[in-house]
Amino acid sequence: MPGFKRVCIAALACALAAAAPAGAADAPRRGGTLVMGSTESPRHLNGAVQSGTATALPSTQLFASPLRYDADWKPHPYLAESWEMSQDGKSLTLHLRKNAVFHDGKPVTSEDVAFSIMAIKKNHPFQTMFAPVEKVETPDQYTAVIRMSHAHPAILLALSPALCPILPKHVYGDGQDLKDHPRNSRDVVGSGPFKLKSFTPGQEIVLERFDKYFIPDEPYLDRIVIKINPDATTLMLGLERGDLQLIPLISEPTLLRRAQADKNLVMTDRGYEGIGALSWLAFNTARKPFDDVRVRQAIAHAIDKNFIVKALNAGFAKPSNGPIIDSSPLATPDVKKYPLDLEKAGQLLDEAGFKKNGDGVRMKITVDYMPGSDVQGKNVAEYLRSQLKKIGIDAQGRASADFPTWAKRIASHDFDMTTDIVFNWGDPVIGVHRTYLSSNIRDIIWTNTQSYSNPKVDELLDKAAQENDPARRKALYAEFERIVTTDAPIVYLTVIPYHTLASRKVGGLPVSIWGAMSPLDTTYLK
Amino acid sequence: MWVYLLRRLAYAVVLLLAVVSLNFLLIHISPGDPVETIAGSMGGLSEELRAQLRTQYGLDKPFLVQLGVYLVQVLHGNLGHSYYFNLPVSDLILQRVPATLLLVITSVVFAFLIGTLLGTLSARKPNGPLSQTITVIASVGYSAPVFWTGIVLIILFASILPIFPVSDMRSPGAEGWGLASILDVFNHLVLPAFTLAFVQLAQYSRLARASVMDALASDYIRTARAKGLSERRVLYKHALRNGILPVLTMLGMQFGNVLAGAILVETVFNWPGLGRLAFDSVLRRDYPTLLGILLFSSMLVIIMNQLTDLAYRLVDPRIKTS
């Protein structure tokens, strides 16, 4: 697909074009309305107190953050024009731009940065992002110094647009509980490239160009309309008809195939490295027989990832082998892998004492799956059922009527094994540690509901969280990945094949690690 | 008369409270709770925030206390706050009512008029080819699931022949109520309204056919014909006027069913009405919103039944005197 590649490169060039002027042929054009589709309905628009992709899409347009990232995990100036980390890694100094103003005309100052970081620390669901932050000092209007109790390298990714929106203190600092603040849905004020025109819950968000945006001549678009429709197929039809121009976060193979065949559309799987969405099979290691590592390894050996990639995901997905998404600079390829080997699986089960009975059955278990996406849930469970039968395991699929039903079962540890989709969210401290730390075995989904406990893993993760040297940090994570893949509380299946689908008329596709969950200030209509 | 009215009103209130309590019970015994859904929308949640949410929503209290708190609230006219959107439920409902009413009323009027007309036409020659064609069309409409009809119509008239929009009530970013906006809404209304009308068509046409046939066989029609009135006048003025009474009863009784059908139609067409909101609220375990919608639609059904009574009196003068 040379055309597709060219568009990607052009988009990438534009994403980085803040410094260099783009080539005349692909010169971005001012004006126009971009209509985006979203299958998820945001609760409100304030990303400081609400995580998740639904809120991040509009929140990153409305609010600017200290840093932003390119497609290679490299931080770039955003509200902070420069920053430095102290030797001991315990203070991060941000030097803010002097020309940034909020949508109500008031300047963005260090007071706002300090207020926002402390507000996020208090209210955001991802508590690990700013947990070590003790205070934010404001020596002058444009300098903010973040003081931490220990070195905390994850803070750099935590300052991304999707995770650290800078709120105006004069609006949100009025003492009301930030989680229920009326201005989270109405008259939202940020300093991002677009301001809020209207928000109709569950239906539509209309954003308008902010003329005093601190990056000159940007954004290019006059308006962004985010149409909410839970049905991706209907959104796709709208894209094909030209009613919509861009849909992020599409992973259904049938829709991807349709987009691939359509001459008027382009698609890219870049832009999802940051969220790092992994599809996996998790065991309840507190339950027999999954407390035995040999049983878990045997099941891992019975799964052909290639089948899941090629047949179930029509070749759009990539296999995943470890807890950290492959495209992360902290990931290692050197993990324990489980090639398809039914004989070995049988041996492991024999060793563990699970011999076949007269009917050739060693054990009966259940497989839960996350409802919502048949491709990532039900179909995988069906496949597992047929594969596990080959090694003498009678696995029964257990359907859940809807997401809350499934979530309740998993949260209350009432399962044998389950498929799941879990996001990395940038730094491992934010989205990876929670699944493996023994201190995080809780009755909440997306914690360590596997009840996995290994003191060595706890120690490695604690060290890695505080290791400022990138090479040493990477080595700690490599060891962690090796241990976890050997202990196998989880069998890693694939990276969710999220794609951004767009009309050919769209230039400057969002392909940084955070994709459309970062400012669309360099996106334009040709 | 007043005593009668008051008694009916009291009966309606008791009925509503019973409906609310039953709904409350049903929703609470379904597995999974709202905090889990909110955690899902956030990609995770800490223990502290989770506990905070449970306290804030009163989910940590015993079931009967929760029910009591809710009933007292409702009696004060307060439907509470949506767990999911953090907005007053009454705001959310009022925002959605016009869309649902537009869809439901358009489809009911369409089905009632066309259905009655078709039924009357086929009553003239019950075994003629016209009558049989109408019967076939009506049975197809009645037996096809509404979501299927909707999807087929989308494929035919929004994808293959892109005449109508795929979904929603207005074009992206549309605002105001100028002529262009009204035409835009009308354009969006055609497919969903037809889908919802199609399923009702059969009932109206079959009922109208049967009751007009009955009427045609009666003495006063023979008298009318003997007087030398035109067949058209006999059919529409005499037979239909009497034959329409059961059809009107149907109109009132059917209203609840139509509202239920609207949930599916709104979901297929992403129509921004109460049905769509109800469906999403079930998936989100957004109890207050769902309860609010159920309460609101029960009230709507009761009001519709009263209106049907009134319409009866207008059409049939005999009821007034009795």
The whole-number pLDDT of residue A382 equals 95
Within A151-252, residue ranges assigned H as helices are 155-158, 169-172, 232-241
Residue A125: closest C-alpha in chain B: B45
B contact test, residue of A46, A123, A127 with most B CBs within 10 A:
A127
Contact A52, B42 (CB under 8 A): yes
- Residues 296-355 (A) with a CB less than 8 A from some CB of B: none
Encoded amino acid at A266, one letter: V
One DSSP character per residue, B163-190 reads TS-SSSSS-TT--S-SHHHHHHHHHHHH
Measured CA to CA, the distance from residue A422 to residue A436 in angstroms comes to 12
B280 Cβ under 8 Å from any chain A Cβ: yes
**CA-based nearest distance A310→chain B, Å:** 27
B101 phi and psi angles, rounded to 5 deg: -60, -40
Average pLDDT, chain B: 85
Mind listing the pLDDT tens digit for each residue in A183-224? 999 999 999 999 999 999 999 999 999 999 999 999 999 999
Residues ≥6 apart with Cβ < 8 Å to A193: A61, A64, A209, A210, A213, A215, A218, A219, A519, A520, A521
Mind listing the pLDDT tens digit for each residue in B250-282? 777 778 888 888 889 999 999 999 988 998 888
Within A124-269, residue ranges assigned H as helices are 155-158, 169-172, 232-241, 253-261
- Residues 123-142 (A) with a CB less than 8 A from some CB of B: 123, 125-127
The whole-number pLDDT of residue A323 equals 97
The whole-number pLDDT of residue B148 equals 92
Predicted structure pTM score: 0.88
Contact B100, B192 (CB under 8 A): no
Under 8 Å CB pairs connecting chains A and B tally to 145
Residues ≥6 apart with Cβ < 8 Å to B124: B131, B235
Mind listing the pLDDT tens digit for each residue in B161-205? 989 999 999 988 887 788 889 999 999 999 999 999 998 888 888
Q: How many percent of chain B have pLDDT more than 90? A: 23
Poorest-pLDDT segment among B31-40, B178-187, B285-294, B311-320? B311-320
Measured CA to CA, the distance from residue B249 to residue B253 in angstroms comes to 6
One DSSP character per residue, A343-390 reads HHHHHHHHHTT----TTS--EEEEEE--TT-TTTTHHHHHHHHHHHHH
Encoded amino acid at A207, one letter: L
Mind listing the pLDDT tens digit for each residue in A286-297? 999 999 999 999
Measured CA to CA, the distance from residue A502 to residue A526 in angstroms comes to 12
**CA-based nearest distance A308→chain B, Å:** 24
A410 Cβ under 8 Å from any chain B Cβ: no
A15 Cβ under 8 Å from any chain B Cβ: no
Question: What 8-state DSSP symbol labels residue A302?
Answer: T
The whole-number pLDDT of residue B320 equals 57
Determine the average pLDDT of the residues in B140-165: 91
Mind listing the pLDDT tens digit for each residue in B57-74? 888 888 889 888 888 888
Q: How confident is the model at residue B319 (pLDDT cuts 50, 70, 90)?
A: low
**CA-based nearest distance B37→chain A, Å:** 6
Q: For chain A, state the CA radius of gyration.
A: 24
Calculate ∠ Cα A180-B55-B285, nearest 5°. 75
Contact A404 B167 (CB under 8 A): no
The whole-number pLDDT of residue A155 equals 97
Contact B47 A442 (CB under 8 A): yes
Mind listing the pLDDT tens digit for each residue in A316-326? 999 999 999 99
Contact A379, A308 (CB under 8 A): no
Contact A277, A269 (CB under 8 A): no
- Is B55 exposed, middle or buried (CB count within 10 Å of its CB: 0-12, 13-18, 19+)? exposed
Contact A32, A23 (CB under 8 A): no
A contact test, residue of B28, B29, B30, B46 with most A CBs within 10 A:
B46
Residue B223 has pLDDT above 90, yes or no: no
Q: Cα torsion at A277, A283, A286, A287 (round to 10°)?
A: 150
Specify the 3-state DSSP secondary structure of A115.
helix
Q: Are strands A318-319 and A277-283 parallel, antiparallel or unpaired?
A: unpaired
Contact A307, A339 (CB under 8 A): no
User: Which is more confident, A192 or B20?
Assistant: A192
Contact B283 A404 (CB under 8 A): yes
Mind listing the pLDDT tens digit for each residue in A300-336? 999 999 999 999 999 999 999 999 999 999 999 999 9
Q: Residue-wise pLDDT tens for chain A (526 aa)?
A: 444 444 444 444 444 444 444 444 568 999 999 999 999 999 999 999 999 999 999 999 999 999 999 999 999 999 999 999 999 999 999 999 999 999 999 999 999 999 999 999 999 989 999 999 999 999 999 999 999 999 999 999 999 999 999 999 999 999 999 988 999 999 999 999 999 999 999 999 999 999 999 999 999 999 999 999 999 999 999 999 999 999 999 999 999 999 999 999 999 999 999 999 999 999 999 999 999 999 999 999 999 999 999 999 999 999 999 999 999 999 999 999 999 999 999 999 999 999 999 899 999 999 999 988 889 999 999 999 999 999 999 999 999 988 888 988 999 999 999 999 999 999 999 999 999 999 999 888 899 999 999 999 999 999 999 999 999 999 999 999 999 999 999 999 999 999 999 999 999 999 999 999 999 999 999 9
One DSSP character per residue, B103-160 reads HHHHHHHHHHHHHHHHHHHHHHSTTSHHHHHHHHHHHHHHHS-HHHHHHHHHIIIIII
A449 Cβ under 8 Å from any chain B Cβ: no
Specify the 3-state DSSP secondary structure of A526.
coil
Q: For chain B, state the CA radius of gyration.
A: 24
User: Which is more confident, A36 or B227?
Assistant: A36
- Residues 459-488 (A) with a CB less than 8 A from some CB of B: none
Measured CA to CA, the distance from residue A267 to residue A259 in angstroms comes to 7
Mind listing the pLDDT tens digit for each residue in B72-129? 888 888 888 898 888 899 999 999 999 999 999 999 999 989 998 898 888 888 888 8
Contact A201 B158 (CB under 8 A): no
Contact B44 A442 (CB under 8 A): no
